[in-house]
């Protein structure tokens, strides 16, 4: 995310004398929906108004996210799913050398750096992104760098017990101006196709794009928050685009295995007006 460029879109044919040299933030371009004419924070504000969500409720969810992520980090919960990054070079035949270079003075990175101690008063002092809104820098997902990887294969090809069994996935469209509600209908469709009820799902991981967004999904589904994001979410951990989805699934699968639970659902909203959800089963579940 930190490598998103500042780009010039209008100068392929050169510069006219005296013309302004316009640049755009490539990251912001990805976070603005030209169809609905609203940025992603604005879509959460639309949900806050629709579902009657207050600034206090949004800040309380952000505080919960940080507190749970910090507690899980202190307990070593994330260690198993994090690969330590160090200065390293990679060589392959017929390829140029590639490598990873950390900032000066940093020898390795082995934990998420964004979760931090905070308190309600500190969150309340932050200015809303949009005037009169509920979303701030403190109760929105963090912009961080990250990557995730997993091996997906047939069960018969596994040489050792897999972490999770993928049962099904859904993708569904929603109005772009309220894209954050996407996980709710995506989860409903999963349940409809699986024949399971909401109360039969042991754990949920739903991306915390914004606090108002995830609170709206909770309200729409009448979801028990105690089964959701039990180790914190993207407000604390960050939301590296394209890596978050797999991070949710890995965290979810490990919860099911640790607590001998059977079913879990991971879901996320998608800018432009989509929701996606994925259901997994713990193959080691023992009744």
Q: Going from the N-terminus, what domains does the chain have, and what CATH number goes with each?
A: 1-53+141-287 (3.40.47.10)
pLDDT score of 142: 87
Those residues whose C-beta lies under 8 Å from the C-beta of residue 276, and which sit 6 or more positions away, are: 169, 170, 171, 172, 182, 183, 186, 245, 267, 268, 270
pTM of the model: 0.92
Element (H, E) at 108: strand 108-109
User: Partners of 165 in the beta sheet?
Assistant: 281
Token pair listed for 109:
């990175």
pLDDT score of 26: 87
Are 174 and 185 in contact, with CB atoms under 8 Å apart? Answer: yes
- Strands 274-281 and 165-173: what pairing? antiparallel
Ranges of the chain with pLDDT below 50: none
CA distance 222 to 20: 52
List Cα–Cα distances, 253 to 63, 216, 249, 259, 282, in angstroms. Answer: 24, 24, 6, 10, 7
Residue 76 region, left (φ>0) first, then alpha (ψ -120 to 50), else beta?
left
């Amino acid at each position: 995310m930190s490598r998103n460029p500042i780009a010039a879109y209008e100068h392929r044919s050169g510069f006219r004398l005296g013309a302004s040299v316009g640049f755009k933030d490539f990251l912001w371009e990805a976070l603005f929906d030209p169809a609905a004419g609203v940025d992603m924070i604005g879509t959460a504000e639309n949900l806050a108004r629709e579902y009657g969500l207050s600034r206090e409720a949004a800040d309380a969810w952000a505080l919960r996210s940080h507190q749970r992520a910090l507690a899980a980090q202190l307990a070593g919960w994330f260690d198993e799913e994090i690969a330590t990054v160090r200065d390293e070079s990679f060589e392959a035949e017929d390829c140029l050398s590639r490598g990873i270079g950390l900032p000066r003075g940093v020898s390795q990175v082995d934990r998420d750096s964004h979760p931090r101690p905070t308190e309600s008063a500190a969150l309340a002092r932050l200015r809303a992104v949009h005037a009169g809104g509920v979303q701030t820098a403190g109760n929105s997902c963090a912009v961080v760098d990250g990557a995730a990887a997993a091996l997906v294969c047939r069960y018969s090809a596994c040489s050792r017990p897999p972490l999770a069994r993928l049962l099904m996935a859904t993708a569904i469209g929603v109005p772009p101006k309220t894209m954050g509600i996407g996980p709710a209908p995506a989860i409903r469709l999963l349940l409809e196709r699986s024949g399971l009820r909401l109360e039969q799902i042991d754990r949920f991981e739903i991306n915390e794009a914004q606090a108002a967004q995830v609170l709206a999904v909770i309200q729409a589904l009448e979801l028990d928050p105690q089964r959701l994001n039990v180790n914190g979410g993207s407000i604390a951990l960050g939301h590296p685009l394209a890596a978050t989805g797999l991070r949710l699934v890995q965290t979810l699968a490990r919860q099911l295995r640790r607590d001998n639970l059977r079913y879990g659902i991971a879901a996320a909203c998608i800018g432009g007006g989509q929701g996606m959800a994925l259901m997994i089963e713990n193959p080691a579940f023992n009744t």
